[in-house]
Chains A and B, each alone.
Chain A
Amino acid sequence: MKALLTTLTLMAMTTTFAQVPKASTTRTTFHRETSVSTTIKADEAIIWALLTNASDYPRWNSTVTSIQGNIALGEKIVLKSTLDAKRSFKLKVKEFEPTKRLVWGDGKGRRTYLLKSNGDGTVTFTMHERIGGLMFPMYARYIPPFDESFDRFAADLKKESELIQGNTR
């Protein structure tokens, strides 16, 4: 009985841990890449709406202070993040494939959001950022790690999407 309870507890813990997004980072001399992925139980249209409504970000996303501009193909946006509160990131929306793929970036970095329907009412959300270039070794140490911010972004998106999906008012 005790063994069974231990097994069930471990299974429950594993399930819980599996639901918490965990980012990972890889480094080379000229690049750094951070990724996070999570499964979201919501329609991809809801997740897409959250990802593409610039003015709404600060309401649900604890890592974004503001986004000015229109998140649409070819548009320029100005993003302020809690990661570096003093800086404004001027970015261009480079790819925009509704409910599937969104990419924005500048000369130094490129962030990709991917949504993949799993066919069971869930969506796999992946966020990936690649920064770097030939000059990267010179400024790499000034760029803070993204992992924690990525974890929070994915967790916030999951929480808000599932809240909206489940809202039957």
Chain B
Amino acid sequence: MEVSTLTTEFERCRPALKSYLLRITANKQDAEDIVQETWIRAERSLENFKGDSSVKTWLFAIAQNIARDHLRSLKRWPEDVGDIFREAGMKDPDFMREAMAIRHTSPQGQFEIREHIAFCFTCVSRSLPLEQQLALMLKEVYEFTAKEIATIMETNEAMVKYYLHTGRGKMIDVFDRRCALINKEGVCHQCTELNGIFNPKQNAQEEAVKIQMVRDAAKKDKEHLFDLRMVVMKELDPFTSAAAELQLHHLEFDRKVMEQHPTQA
């Protein structure tokens, strides 16, 4: 492969690679740094690329390799991480002041419930064991096959199937218990609460039912609702969406909260 072809392919993959790295590291700076390092290593090892996989799979494998040790050193987050963020945000006047400033001045400062659904999944999926989180993101959001994921994660297809089965099952269970958008008994109303704060003139319930997952909640098909949650994830790029700056501000705050949280000691 010529360098010019690699450049073209890299630029084509860059948005997906960058959003994947943000979603697994929860760190904008880390995501951007790993994307740059991926390019450097890919160009340096271009002659090693034999075409056994697609360029996209190869680039994701390089990025995963760079991120792996760092990710393993990080503690996993608890599944009720949203409650921790809520409490921390309410205690910190600077957080809400900054968020409001972004909301009113930034072209990427909108608040939308579906953006928060994607943000929420990024955070809650960190409660899974690392391998399950990575496999689930690669399959359900970035649409790699089990074989490609095995290449990226340097494991075998059987293990990928195990990670996907267990990870998906756990996420379905967590959201079924917690998410009030799909379960009236759900304990987490954070997206509609925030919609009330950032969009006070809107009716949060009216906004919520614009989302297919919320409309289909009455069918109580948990697998289907999870698939629809993944559709929301696929539709949004956390760096370019209309809510990107607001959500990145949230994510940066939340990551710092978790770095200081007792569960991470």
Specify the main secondary structure of chain B where it touches its partner. helix
Cβ–Cβ < 8 Å partners of A163 in chain B: 165
Q: Is the CB of A45 within 8 A of B165?
A: no
- Hey, which chain A residues are within 8 Å of B169, CB to CB? 59
Q: Nearest chain-B residue to A44 (Cβ)?
A: B158
Does A12 sit at the interface, judged by CB under 8 A? Answer: no
Taking chain A's interface residues, is the majority helix, strand, or loop, or is none over half, making it mixed? helix
Which residues of A have CB within 8 Å of B165?
Answer: 163-164, 167
Residue of A nearest to B157 (CB): A43
Give the number of residues in A that approach B within 8 Å (Cβ atoms): 15
The answer to whether B222 has its CB under 8 Å from any CB of chain A is no
3 closest A-B pairs by beta carbon, nearest first, are: A43-B158, A45-B158, A49-B162
Nearest CB in chain B to that of A56: its residue: B166
Q: A45-B156, A45-B158, A164-B161 are in contact. List 17 more A-B contacts (CB 8 A).
A: A42-B158, A43-B157, A43-B158, A43-B161, A44-B158, A45-B162, A46-B158, A46-B159, A46-B161, A46-B162, A49-B158, A49-B159, A49-B162, A53-B166, A56-B166, A164-B165, A167-B161
Residues of A within 8 A of B139 (CB): 169
Give Cα A121 to B185, complex, Å. 44
A-B contact pairs, 23 of them (CB 8 A): A42-B158, A43-B161, A44-B158, A45-B156, A45-B159, A46-B158, A46-B159, A46-B161, A46-B162, A49-B158, A49-B159, A49-B162, A53-B166, A59-B166, A59-B169, A163-B165, A164-B161, A164-B162, A165-B158, A167-B164, A167-B165, A169-B164, A169-B168
Cα–Cα, bound, A45→B156 (Å): 8
B136 → A minimal CB distance (Å): 11
- Residue A50 CB within 8 A of the other chain: yes
Q: Is the CB of A50 within 8 A of B164?
A: no
What residues of chain A lie closer than 8 Å to B166, measured between beta carbons? 53, 56, 59
> What are the residues of chain B within 8 A of A45 when measuring CB–CB?
156, 158-159, 162
Q: Least Cβ distance of B251 to chain A in Å? A: 27
Query: Using an 8 Å CB-CB cutoff, how does the interface string of A113-129 with B read, 1 for contact, 0 for none?
Result: 00000000000000000
Q: Smallest CB–CB gap between A15 and chain B, Å? A: 26
Complex: how many Å from CA A18 to CA B168? 32
Closest residue of B by beta carbon distance from A165? B161
CB-CB contacts below 8 Å: B109-164 with A: 139, 156-159, 161-162, 164
Provide the bound-state CA to CA distance between A84 and B92, in Å.
Answer: 49
| A47-83 interface bits toward B, Cβ cutoff 8 Å, 1 = contact, 0 = none | 0011001001001000000000000000000000000
